[in-house]
Amino acid sequence: MAQDDYQKILVGVDDSEDALAAFQYAIHRARVDGASLVITTIMESDEMNVYEALSKDYVHGERKDLEQHLSEYVQLAEKAGIKDVRAVIGEGDAGETIVKTLIPKYKPDLLVIGAAAKKGLARHFGSQAAYMAKYAPCSVLVVRE
């Protein structure tokens, strides 16, 4: 294994073009390096109003949508030949959740994120790319479409 090869890559996804480009790069890098891939999206509570946050049905529905969305990413990664793929839904602030919870738990040596995100689901990936780049204890690649 060359010194530049990564063993575990964490990629943050939402529906933005930058996040899709980040996902495509992460698949490429994982395939080239023979790395495992952890795909994450973050369910952010500030996207819900107080009534939605109190409704278990609403939260369950949002989580179900995220699970379905992530399973599609996993299938794409597996079709691309990535053998070790895992999907993780985080909850809270995107940047902090990835830096303070997911990176310590999964110990990636590369974090791949999009530079900007759409409004709505996980919209803060883009505004928090700088936060993650600054505070992540691993290499960070910020992808712009």
What token pair was written down for 117?
């995100």
Instruction: Check residue 61 and give its pLDDT.
Output: 63
Q: Describe the strand order of the beta sheet including 85-91 as a list of residue ranges.
A: 85-91, 36-43, 8-12, 110-114, 139-143
Give the pLDDT score at 63.
Answer: 75
Q: In the chain, what are the domain boundaries? A: 8-143
Q: What is the pLDDT of residue 100?
A: 97
Model pLDDT, residue 126: 47
In order along its 145 residues, the chain shows pLDDT tens digits of: 445 789 999 999 987 888 999 999 999 999 999 999 999 998 876 555 554 545 555 455 677 888 898 999 999 999 999 999 999 999 888 899 999 999 999 999 999 999 875 544 444 444 688 899 999 999 999 998 8
Among 21, 38, 47, 69, smallest CA distance to 121 is for 47
Give the pLDDT score at 123.
47
Environment class of residue 74 by beta-carbon count within 10 Å: exposed (0-12), middle (13-18) or buried (19+)?
A: middle
| Residue type at 98 in one-letter notation | I
**30 with 108: CB under 8 angstroms?**
no
Q: What pLDDT shows up at residue 15?
A: 77
113 contacts 11 by C-beta, under 8 angstroms: yes
Identify the pLDDT of residue 22: 96
pTM given for the model: 0.84
CATH, domain range 8-143: 3.40.50.620
